[in-house]
Amino acid sequence: MTQRSKQVPFSTPTLGSGGDTSSWRTEKPVLDESKCINCLFCWMYCPEGSIKRAEKVVYIDYQYCKGCGICMNECPPKAIVMVKEE
């Protein structure tokens, strides 16, 4: 009997379904933790889910971050700056 998965194109949830999207960056967000007020706006607004909640402040997961800059634009205390990628 053919497995159902061979009959029908079923995809399974996987990080990086678009490949290594970190390579799309031309600049990357850098957080100044001393300025972060942990308002979580960047976590909420990040289209990629690349900002992670932590104990005291957020941190940026660069594995898939595309460098769109929304986090920088929306951060109330301007704790995030965009830095050119090498």
Partner 1 sequence: MSKYKVMTGNYGIAYGAALSRVELISAYPITPQTSIVEKLSEMVETGSLKAKFVRVESEHSALAACVGGASAGARCFTATSSHGLLYMNEMVFWAGYARLPMVMAVITRSLGPPWGIWSEHTDLLAQRDTGWISMLAQTNQEALDSVIQAYMITEDPDVLLPVMIGLDAFIVSHTAVPVDVPDQDSVDAFLPKNRVPGFLLDFDEPKTMGNMTYPEWNMEFRYEMEAAMKAAQRKIVEVDRKFGDAFGRSYGGLVELYRMEDAKYAVVVAGAHAGEAKDAVDELRSEGIDAGVARVRFLRPFPKDALREALGGMKGVAVVDRDLSPGLGGIIRAELSSALYGMKRPPQVRGFIAGLGGRDISVDDIKEAIVVTTKSSEAGEDEWMDLRRENL
Partner 2 sequence: MVLKVRDLPNEEYWLSGNPSCHGCPAALGLRIALKALGPKTVMVVPAGCATIIQGTFPKTSARVPLLNIAFAASASSASGVAAALELKGAVNTNVMVWAGDGATSDIGMASLSGAAERNENIIYVCYDNEAYMNTGIQRSSSTPIGAWTTTTTTGKTEAKKDVPAILLTHHVPYVATASVAFPLDFAEKLQKAAKIRGFKYIHLHAPCPPGWKFASEKTIEVGKLAVQTGCWILYEVENGVYKLSTPSLPFTNKERRKPIELYLKLQGRFAKMTDEEKAKFQAAIEEGWISAANNARAGRLFSPR
Positions that interact with partner 2 (CB under 8 A)? 9-21, 24, 39-41, 43-50, 53, 61, 63-64, 66-70, 72-74, 82
Q: Is 4 in the site for partner 1 (CB under 8 A)?
A: yes
56 touches, from partner 1, partner 2, none (C-beta below 5 to 8 Å by class): none
Q: Give the whole-angstrom CA distance, residue 23 versus residue 21.
A: 5
Q: What minimum distance in Å lies between the beta carbon of 67 and partner 1?
A: 24
**45-73 burial, b if ≥16 CB within 10 A, otherwise e?**
ebebebbeeeeebbbbeeebbbbbebbbe
- Give the number of other Cβ atoms within 10 Å of residue 80's Cβ: 23
Binding mask 11-30 for partner 1 (x = CB under 8 A): xxx-----------------
HSE-up of 40 (CA within 13 Å, CB side)?
6
Minimum CB distance to partner 1, residue 21 (Å): 16
Binding site for partner 1 (CB under 8 A): 1-2, 4, 6-13
